[in-house]
Structure 1
Protein backbone atom coordinates (compact mmCIF):
# COMPACT_ATOMS: atom_id res chain seq x y z
CA UNK A 1 0.00 0.00 0.00
CA UNK A 2 1.52 3.28 -1.14
CA UNK A 3 1.09 6.18 1.27
CA UNK A 4 0.82 9.50 -0.50
CA UNK A 5 2.13 12.77 0.80
CA UNK A 6 -0.13 14.98 2.86
CA UNK A 7 -1.55 17.99 1.08
CA UNK A 8 -3.77 20.77 2.36
CA UNK A 9 -6.72 19.25 0.48
CA UNK A 10 -6.06 15.78 1.91
CA UNK A 11 -5.69 17.13 5.44
CA UNK A 12 -8.92 19.14 5.22
CA UNK A 13 -10.91 16.27 3.67
CA UNK A 14 -9.70 13.85 6.37
CA UNK A 15 -10.61 16.40 9.05
CA UNK A 16 -14.07 16.90 7.54
CA UNK A 17 -14.80 13.16 7.32
CA UNK A 18 -13.44 12.59 10.83
CA UNK A 19 -15.69 15.26 12.34
CA UNK A 20 -18.85 14.10 10.56
CA UNK A 21 -21.33 11.80 12.29
CA UNK A 22 -22.62 10.58 8.92
CA UNK A 23 -20.97 9.46 5.69
CA UNK A 24 -20.43 12.30 3.20
CA UNK A 25 -20.82 12.38 -0.57
CA UNK A 26 -18.35 14.04 -2.93
CA UNK A 27 -20.84 16.89 -3.42
CA UNK A 28 -21.23 17.41 0.34
CA UNK A 29 -17.44 17.41 0.78
CA UNK A 30 -16.96 19.89 -2.07
CA UNK A 31 -19.60 22.25 -0.60
CA UNK A 32 -18.04 22.08 2.87
CA UNK A 33 -14.56 22.87 1.54
CA UNK A 34 -15.67 26.26 0.13
CA UNK A 35 -13.62 26.06 -3.10
CA UNK A 36 -10.42 24.90 -1.37
CA UNK A 37 -9.81 22.61 -4.35
CA UNK A 38 -11.55 21.44 -7.52
CA UNK A 39 -13.81 18.38 -7.83
CA UNK A 40 -11.13 16.27 -9.56
CA UNK A 41 -8.70 16.83 -6.68
CA UNK A 42 -11.41 15.78 -4.21
CA UNK A 43 -12.01 12.55 -6.19
CA UNK A 44 -8.27 11.83 -6.25
CA UNK A 45 -7.91 12.48 -2.51
CA UNK A 46 -10.91 10.28 -1.68
CA UNK A 47 -9.54 7.45 -3.86
CA UNK A 48 -6.16 7.82 -2.11
CA UNK A 49 -7.79 7.74 1.37
CA UNK A 50 -9.73 4.59 0.44
CA UNK A 51 -6.53 2.98 -0.90
CA UNK A 52 -4.66 3.90 2.30
CA UNK A 53 -7.45 2.38 4.40
CA UNK A 54 -8.40 5.47 6.38
CA UNK A 55 -11.78 5.92 4.65
CA UNK A 56 -14.32 3.50 3.19
CA UNK A 57 -16.93 3.84 0.45
CA UNK A 58 -20.61 3.21 1.02
CA UNK A 59 -23.21 3.14 -1.73
CA UNK A 60 -26.56 4.34 -0.42
CA UNK A 61 -29.92 3.07 -1.65
CA UNK A 62 -30.05 5.84 -4.30
CA UNK A 63 -26.68 4.75 -5.73
CA UNK A 64 -24.79 7.75 -4.31
CA UNK A 65 -21.28 6.98 -3.07
CA UNK A 66 -20.57 8.30 0.41
CA UNK A 67 -17.36 8.21 2.44
CA UNK A 68 -16.86 7.49 6.13
CA UNK A 69 -13.86 7.15 8.39
CA UNK A 70 -12.49 3.67 9.01
CA UNK A 71 -12.35 2.37 12.56
CA UNK A 72 -10.29 -0.58 13.79
CA UNK A 73 -8.69 -1.18 10.38
CA UNK A 74 -5.04 -0.82 11.41
CA UNK A 75 -4.11 -4.49 10.88
CA UNK A 76 -6.69 -5.60 8.32
CA UNK A 77 -9.05 -3.48 6.25
CA UNK A 78 -12.58 -4.69 6.97
CA UNK A 79 -16.05 -3.24 7.18
CA UNK A 80 -18.16 -6.01 8.59
CA UNK A 81 -20.78 -3.65 9.90
CA UNK A 82 -24.14 -2.41 8.72
CA UNK A 83 -24.76 0.95 7.08
CA UNK A 84 -28.10 2.67 7.55
CA UNK A 85 -29.43 4.91 4.76
CA UNK A 86 -32.26 7.27 5.75
CA UNK A 87 -34.91 7.54 3.05
CA UNK A 88 -35.98 11.00 4.23
CA UNK A 89 -32.82 13.01 5.01
CA UNK A 90 -30.51 10.81 2.86
CA UNK A 91 -27.93 10.48 5.66
CA UNK A 92 -25.81 7.31 5.75
CA UNK A 93 -24.57 6.11 9.13
CA UNK A 94 -22.15 3.31 10.04
CA UNK A 95 -23.65 1.08 12.72
CA UNK A 96 -20.36 -0.25 14.08
CA UNK A 97 -21.95 -2.41 16.77
CA UNK A 98 -24.20 -4.31 14.31
CA UNK A 99 -22.31 -7.08 12.53
CA UNK A 100 -24.18 -8.89 9.76
CA UNK A 101 -24.09 -12.66 9.52
CA UNK A 102 -24.63 -14.86 6.48
CA UNK A 103 -23.90 -18.37 5.28
CA UNK A 104 -22.64 -19.10 1.78
CA UNK A 105 -21.95 -22.39 0.01
CA UNK A 106 -18.34 -23.59 0.31
CA UNK A 107 -17.53 -22.70 -3.30
CA UNK A 108 -17.86 -18.96 -2.57
CA UNK A 109 -15.15 -16.80 -1.05
CA UNK A 110 -16.14 -13.43 0.41
CA UNK A 111 -13.70 -10.56 -0.14
CA UNK A 112 -15.88 -7.63 0.86
CA UNK A 113 -19.13 -7.15 2.75
CA UNK A 114 -21.44 -4.19 2.14
CA UNK A 115 -24.75 -4.24 4.00
CA UNK A 116 -27.02 -1.21 3.69
CA UNK A 117 -30.34 -1.03 5.47
CA UNK A 118 -32.83 1.68 4.61
CA UNK A 119 -35.65 3.33 6.47
CA UNK A 120 -35.94 6.34 8.76
CA UNK A 121 -33.11 7.46 11.04
CA UNK A 122 -33.83 8.52 14.66
CA UNK A 123 -33.96 12.22 13.62
CA UNK A 124 -36.59 11.55 10.93
CA UNK A 125 -38.71 8.96 12.77
Structure 2
Protein backbone atom coordinates (compact mmCIF):
# COMPACT_ATOMS: atom_id res chain seq x y z
CA UNK A 1 0.00 0.00 0.00
CA UNK A 2 1.42 3.34 -1.08
CA UNK A 3 1.20 6.14 1.47
CA UNK A 4 0.51 9.59 0.02
CA UNK A 5 1.26 12.83 1.75
CA UNK A 6 -1.29 15.59 1.73
CA UNK A 7 0.35 18.98 1.99
CA UNK A 8 -1.17 22.42 1.68
CA UNK A 9 0.50 22.81 -1.73
CA UNK A 10 -0.83 19.45 -2.94
CA UNK A 11 -4.33 20.21 -1.69
CA UNK A 12 -4.41 23.64 -3.33
CA UNK A 13 -2.94 22.43 -6.64
CA UNK A 14 -5.40 19.55 -6.82
CA UNK A 15 -8.30 21.90 -6.01
CA UNK A 16 -7.14 24.38 -8.66
CA UNK A 17 -6.95 21.65 -11.33
CA UNK A 18 -10.30 20.15 -10.26
CA UNK A 19 -12.06 23.52 -10.48
CA UNK A 20 -10.62 24.45 -13.86
CA UNK A 21 -12.61 23.85 -17.05
CA UNK A 22 -9.36 23.67 -19.06
CA UNK A 23 -6.00 21.98 -18.54
CA UNK A 24 -3.44 24.15 -16.76
CA UNK A 25 0.28 24.58 -17.36
CA UNK A 26 2.88 24.78 -14.59
CA UNK A 27 3.16 28.55 -15.17
CA UNK A 28 -0.63 29.01 -14.94
CA UNK A 29 -0.75 27.00 -11.72
CA UNK A 30 2.16 28.96 -10.23
CA UNK A 31 0.44 32.25 -11.12
CA UNK A 32 -2.87 31.18 -9.56
CA UNK A 33 -1.21 29.99 -6.34
CA UNK A 34 0.12 33.49 -5.55
CA UNK A 35 3.51 32.42 -4.11
CA UNK A 36 2.03 29.64 -1.95
CA UNK A 37 5.05 27.50 -2.90
CA UNK A 38 8.05 27.59 -5.20
CA UNK A 39 8.15 26.26 -8.75
CA UNK A 40 10.10 23.11 -7.81
CA UNK A 41 7.45 22.16 -5.25
CA UNK A 42 4.77 22.61 -7.90
CA UNK A 43 6.65 20.28 -10.28
CA UNK A 44 7.02 17.68 -7.53
CA UNK A 45 3.35 17.87 -6.56
CA UNK A 46 2.27 17.59 -10.21
CA UNK A 47 4.50 14.53 -10.69
CA UNK A 48 3.02 12.98 -7.54
CA UNK A 49 -0.55 13.67 -8.66
CA UNK A 50 0.19 12.06 -12.05
CA UNK A 51 1.78 9.04 -10.33
CA UNK A 52 -1.26 8.72 -8.04
CA UNK A 53 -3.60 8.86 -11.04
CA UNK A 54 -5.59 11.92 -10.02
CA UNK A 55 -4.35 14.14 -12.88
CA UNK A 56 -2.93 13.49 -16.33
CA UNK A 57 -0.44 15.27 -18.54
CA UNK A 58 -1.35 16.68 -21.93
CA UNK A 59 1.20 18.02 -24.38
CA UNK A 60 -0.45 20.73 -26.45
CA UNK A 61 0.42 21.51 -30.07
CA UNK A 62 3.02 24.09 -28.92
CA UNK A 63 4.81 21.47 -26.79
CA UNK A 64 3.60 22.94 -23.49
CA UNK A 65 2.68 20.36 -20.83
CA UNK A 66 -0.68 20.97 -19.23
CA UNK A 67 -2.46 19.09 -16.45
CA UNK A 68 -6.10 18.07 -16.17
CA UNK A 69 -8.15 16.12 -13.65
CA UNK A 70 -8.64 12.42 -14.28
CA UNK A 71 -12.18 11.17 -14.77
CA UNK A 72 -13.34 7.57 -14.67
CA UNK A 73 -9.90 6.21 -13.77
CA UNK A 74 -10.83 4.42 -10.55
CA UNK A 75 -10.34 0.92 -11.92
CA UNK A 76 -7.86 1.51 -14.74
CA UNK A 77 -5.77 4.59 -15.44
CA UNK A 78 -6.40 5.57 -19.08
CA UNK A 79 -6.63 8.77 -21.06
CA UNK A 80 -7.46 7.60 -24.52
CA UNK A 81 -9.64 10.58 -25.24
CA UNK A 82 -9.16 13.64 -27.41
CA UNK A 83 -7.77 16.96 -26.29
CA UNK A 84 -8.59 20.22 -28.04
CA UNK A 85 -5.97 22.99 -28.16
CA UNK A 86 -7.29 26.45 -29.06
CA UNK A 87 -4.95 28.34 -31.38
CA UNK A 88 -6.22 31.71 -30.18
CA UNK A 89 -6.63 31.56 -26.38
CA UNK A 90 -4.23 28.58 -25.93
CA UNK A 91 -6.71 26.67 -23.74
CA UNK A 92 -6.57 22.87 -23.74
CA UNK A 93 -9.78 20.95 -23.06
CA UNK A 94 -10.41 17.22 -22.58
CA UNK A 95 -13.12 15.93 -24.92
CA UNK A 96 -14.44 12.92 -23.02
CA UNK A 97 -17.42 12.19 -25.30
CA UNK A 98 -15.37 11.78 -28.48
CA UNK A 99 -13.94 8.31 -29.02
CA UNK A 100 -10.79 8.25 -31.13
CA UNK A 101 -10.17 5.36 -33.48
CA UNK A 102 -7.18 4.23 -35.49
CA UNK A 103 -5.79 1.12 -37.09
CA UNK A 104 -2.17 0.07 -36.66
CA UNK A 105 -0.13 -2.46 -38.62
CA UNK A 106 0.32 -5.91 -37.08
CA UNK A 107 2.65 -6.33 -34.08
CA UNK A 108 2.30 -2.75 -32.81
CA UNK A 109 1.08 -2.50 -29.22
CA UNK A 110 -0.38 0.78 -27.97
CA UNK A 111 0.18 1.62 -24.31
CA UNK A 112 -0.88 5.25 -24.33
CA UNK A 113 -2.63 7.56 -26.77
CA UNK A 114 -2.33 11.34 -26.94
CA UNK A 115 -4.74 12.87 -29.44
CA UNK A 116 -4.64 16.65 -29.66
CA UNK A 117 -6.81 18.53 -32.12
CA UNK A 118 -6.08 22.15 -32.92
CA UNK A 119 -8.41 24.96 -33.95
CA UNK A 120 -10.72 27.49 -32.30
CA UNK A 121 -12.62 26.72 -29.11
CA UNK A 122 -16.33 27.68 -28.82
CA UNK A 123 -15.51 30.97 -27.03
CA UNK A 124 -12.99 32.08 -29.64
CA UNK A 125 -15.22 30.95 -32.54
CA UNK A 126 -17.90 33.40 -31.43
CA UNK A 127 -15.57 36.42 -31.54
Using structure 2 for the length normalisation, give the TM-score: 0.96
Change (3 A) 1:121 1:55: same
**C-alpha distance in structure 2 between counterparts of 1:3 and 1:47, whole Å:** 15
Runs of 4+ in 1 over 6 A off after TM superposition: none
**TM-superposition CA deviations, 1:8-54 (whole Å, max 9, x none):** 00000000000000000000000000000000000000000000000
Aligned length: 125
2:69 maps to 69
Higher helix proportion, which one? 2
The alpha-carbon deviation at position 62 of structure 1 amounts to 0.5
Question: 1:105: Cα distance to partner?
Answer: 1.6
User: Does the 8 Å CA contact 1:2/1:52 hold for their aligned counterparts?
Assistant: no
- Per-residue CA deviation, residues 52-82 of structure 1 (Å, 9 max, x unaligned), is 0000000001000000000000010001110
Q: Secondary structure at the match of 2:118?
A: strand
- Tell me what 1:7 maps to: 7
Within-5 A mapping of 1:38-117:
38-117=38-117
